[in-house]
Amino acid sequence: MALRGHQIRLLSKTAKLHCLLRVNGVNNFSSNTHVGPSAAVEKNPTGKISKASQKDTENYKYFDCVYVGGGIVGLASAYTAMRKFPFLESCVLEKEDKLAAHQSGNNSGVIHAGIYYVPGSLKAKLCVEGLRLAYEYCDANNVPYKKCGKLIVATQPDELPRLANLHERGLKNDVPDLKLIENEEGIREIEPNCRGLKALHSPHTGIVDWAEVSRSYGKNFEKSGGKIFLNHEVTGFRESGMTDDDFPVEISLKSQPYKIRTRYVITCTGLQSDKVAALSGGTPHPKIVPFRGEYLLLKKEKSDLVRGNIYPVPDPKFPFLGVHFTPRMNGDVWLGPNAVLAFKREGYKLFDFSLKEFSEAAAYS
């Protein structure tokens, strides 16, 4: 893959590349629940009423369901469940002073189409369905996006068999309108400054600010009757052990004068998921080993060299998709990321360091 005449400078913003989701607690929600296209929510069409908040005291707040983690997974889960169970009193607990502070707000911002995953796998099914639902949600909720497309470009002969394999995978996964571009002339019709032997073109791949999508979920959750608490870091879970206790789980919070009692807890804590799992009595394995991704930024006057996402053919020796060009919603174009072992789980600057977290990662790896 080559872009002629591009100029780049170092971009200070970095992104975490490693993601692990844990969902703990009782599964009372249908597996086929999803966010529909409309943001309009009737708060409680069932007529059922929760009495959780009526039990609030100076030392305790009561909720039917608590979601730990204010990233996109926690917020989407909370909003989706609220739409299906509007009579529940629910809240989201986020340890930072804003939503989507970590992985949800530090990434390439791509809406993927499902090309890479093994046909028939859950990842493949969810990615293809997620593409459709993401655009539906953004359209219904006025979240801006760009359907700028994506090229996966083979520049060396030994990459052509892998490109053909990706094409076959994409077709089996029902990636919409996926097309094999057979020559450089066809590539240049899509990306005039790109060179290669062959390429895959996915016209429905897009870009979006996932932090903005997360905030939209949060707003809709609150409009539906949910509550979001920032600066609420969970430090522990305790079960009452009483069979007649309607709110058997007690949640301890850092720097808050009260605790929370709840029926159900769902944790969606990203880079902290192994630690939160251990707090709730689950296994801390697999452990999180964080990597930091660093990007380069094309100069503003050169950003028109790139129209859409341009990716290399993935190298099977590495668990990443490769360094790629990605347009941003603000008009910037990023090149990256690389992948370097982070010295701190949530360290986004080069010299961010936690001896404890680095020692844990080094010992585990």
Q: Is residue 338 within 8 Å of residue 293, measured between CB atoms?
A: yes
Percent of the chain with pLDDT over 90: 75
So what's the pLDDT on residue 360? Answer: 85
Report which of residues 318 and 287 the model is more confident about.
287
The helix, strand and coil proportions of the chain, stated in percent and rounded to the nearest 5, come to: 30, 25, 45
- Least reliable range by pLDDT among 8-22, 93-107, 340-354: 8-22
Q: Is residue 207 within 8 Å of residue 329, measured between CB atoms?
A: yes
> What is this structure's pTM?
0.86
So what's the pLDDT on residue 51? Answer: 79
Q: Is residue 200 within 8 Å of residue 180, measured between CB atoms?
A: yes
Report which of residues 199 and 341 the model is more confident about.
199
Question: Collapsing DSSP states into helix, strand and coil, what is residue 304?
Answer: helix
**Residue 24: is its pLDDT beyond 90?**
no
Residue 135 dihedral angles phi and psi, to the nearest 5°? -65, -40
So what's the pLDDT on residue 43? Answer: 56
So what's the pLDDT on residue 47? Answer: 58
**Residue 33: is its pLDDT beyond 60?**
no
Question: Collapsing DSSP states into helix, strand and coil, what is residue 130?
Answer: helix
Which tokens belong to 290?
């964080």
Residue span(s) of the chain under CATH 3.50.50.60 come to 53-104+211-279
182-235: pLDDT as tens digits: 999 999 999 999 999 999 999 999 999 999 999 999 999 999 999 999 999 999
Superfamily of structural domain 53-104+211-279: FAD/NAD(P)-binding domain (3.50.50.60)
So what's the pLDDT on residue 240? Answer: 82
- Least reliable range by pLDDT among 51-55, 88-92, 187-191: 51-55
How many of the other CB atoms lie within 10 Å of CB of 52? Answer: 21
Q: Is residue 27 within 8 Å of residue 127, measured between CB atoms?
A: no
Q: 122: burial class by Cβ within 10 Å (0-12, 13-18, 19+)? A: exposed
134-138 contact pairs (CB < 8 A, 24+)? 134/208, 134/213, 135/111, 135/206, 136/36, 136/37, 137/35, 137/37, 137/213, 137/216, 138/208, 138/213
Q: Rounded mean pLDDT of the chain?
A: 88
So what's the pLDDT on residue 244? Answer: 72
How much is the average pLDDT of 144-148?
A: 98
So what's the pLDDT on residue 21? Answer: 29
**Residues written for the chain:** 365
**Residue 29: is its pLDDT beyond 80?**
no
Residue span(s) of the chain under CATH 3.30.9.10 come to 2-17+110-208+289-364
**Residue 323: is its pLDDT beyond 80?**
yes
pLDDT band at 241 (very low <50, low <70, confident <90, very high): confident
**Element (DSSP H or E) covering residue 359:** helix 355-364
Q: Concatenated DSSP letters for 285-352?
A: -SPP--EEEEEEEE-GGGGGG--SEEEEPPPTTSSS---EEEE-TTS-EEEE---EE-SSTT--STT-
Query: Residue 108 contacts by C-beta under 8 Å, 6 or more apart in sequence?
Result: 15, 324, 326, 334, 336, 337
Report which of residues 149 and 365 the model is more confident about.
149
So what's the pLDDT on residue 318? Answer: 82
How much is the average pLDDT of 265-280?
A: 95
Instruction: Look at the domain 2-17+110-208+289-364 and name its fold.
Output: D-Amino Acid Oxidase; Chain A, domain 2 (3.30.9)
Pairing of strands 333-336, 291-298: antiparallel
So what's the pLDDT on residue 26? Answer: 33
Distance from the Cα of residue 177 to its chain's centroid:
25
pLDDT band at 50 (very low <50, low <70, confident <90, very high): confident
**Residue 272: is its pLDDT beyond 50?**
yes
Percent of the chain with pLDDT over 70: 87
pLDDT band at 2 (very low <50, low <70, confident <90, very high): very low
Tell me how far apart the alpha carbons of residues 128 and 120 are, in angstroms, rounded to a whole number. 11
286 prior amide bond cis, ω within 30: yes
Residue 274 is which amino acid?
Answer: D
**Residue 179: is its pLDDT beyond 70?**
yes
Tell me how far apart the alpha carbons of residues 192 and 44 are, in angstroms, rounded to a whole number. 53
**Residue 46: is its pLDDT beyond 80?**
no
Which tokens belong to 94?
């986020």
Residue 358 is which amino acid?
Answer: F
Torsion of CA 194, 197, 202, 205, to 10 degrees: -40
**Residue 31: is its pLDDT beyond 50?**
no
